[in-house]
Structures are given as structure tokens and as C-alpha cells.
Amino acid sequence: MPPSTVQVVEAAGASGGKAVTSGKEWEPIFALPLPAEGQRFEIHFRHLGGPIQLKSVIDGKQKEHNWIWDQPEQWKWSSFGTYTREQLGTSIVLIRGGKTTIEPVLDCVVLTQKENIPTGTAPLNVPDPIVEKTHRHAQLRLGQVSPSSIRAPEG
């Protein structure tokens, strides 16, 4: 198996000044086990650059879900939508898209059980107040972990 190209990089405007990216097409750049509680999850993420796909892991196998083909040049909040626990299984995986030389840069991922959170461009220092309220459900700031140990923070 070829080595991973996933890496934490310095990224102006990102949480803590760092984000995660990959130089290889179709490579997983983020994985997160689902929280123990809850049956429906809305999945939001802050990104720039190339396309990103949502996959889930069910019975050890990846299942394809939604793509975000947008390639924003500035930080942007996007949403994959709402999914049930049955659709997502035990965890989610975000995959770098292919057919482009533009690498995605992923700042953070937010899972919430509240639906219809607005998305769009927002400076990090002025986050969407609804998204900010969801951080206690599950949030991972990628600049605080290494690519080989991406997981939700304890606490």
C-alpha cells in the first residue's frame, strides 16, 4: 500500500492556523466515529480548495454518500446534509476528490442533531452562532491532531 500523503499544514485563517490536506486523489483525509447518542446527524465542515466526498463505514465497508464539488478560494462552511445512524453506520470518512489538481484543505468538521444550520462563507473569528452552539455535540479541530491519529478530542 502506498504511503499516505495526508498532512497537517499551516493555513492562514484556519482554526489554530492549521488544517489537513492530501496530495493524492481519492485519499481519505478525515475519519470520525459517530457519537454514541443520537439517531440523526447533520454534517458540516469548513474548507477551501478541491472537492470532498462523504463516506460512511457500515459493517467495515465504506459506503458513498454526498459530494461537495465546490472549490472555494476562501474558507467556507458547507453541509453534506442530514443522515440517520442507519445510513452512516459507525463512522464517517471524508475523501479527497479526483480529476483536479486543486487539493482540498479541511479546517474542521461539526456533527449536529439540529437541522437546517445555515451554510456559507464566514470568517473564523465570526462563526455562525448556530454552528457555534453545536460544538458541544462533536467537533474536531484538525490543527490539534496528527494525520495518523485523527480522532475526536476527549472531554
DSSP state letter for 145? S
**61-80 pLDDT tens trace:** 989 999 999 899 999 999 99
DSSP line for 75-137: -EEEEEEEEEHHHHBTEEEEEE-SS-SPPPEEEEEEEESS-----B---TTS--HHHHHHTTT
Q: Taking Cα atoms as reference points, which of 99, 72, 83 lies closest to residue 34?
A: 83
- pTM exceeds 0.85, yes or no: no
Q: Could you give the percent of the chain with pLDDT greater than 90?
A: 35
More confident call, 94 vs 136: 94
pLDDT of residue 100: 82
Asked if pLDDT for residue 94 goes beyond 90, the answer is yes
pLDDT of residue 113: 78
pLDDT of residue 118: 52
Q: Could you give the percent of the chain with pLDDT greater than 70?
A: 71
Mean pLDDT of 71-99: 92
Asked if pLDDT for residue 56 goes beyond 90, the answer is yes
Q: Select from 3.20.20.70, 2.60.120.260, 3.40.50.2020, 3.40.50.300 the CATH code of 7-145.
A: 2.60.120.260
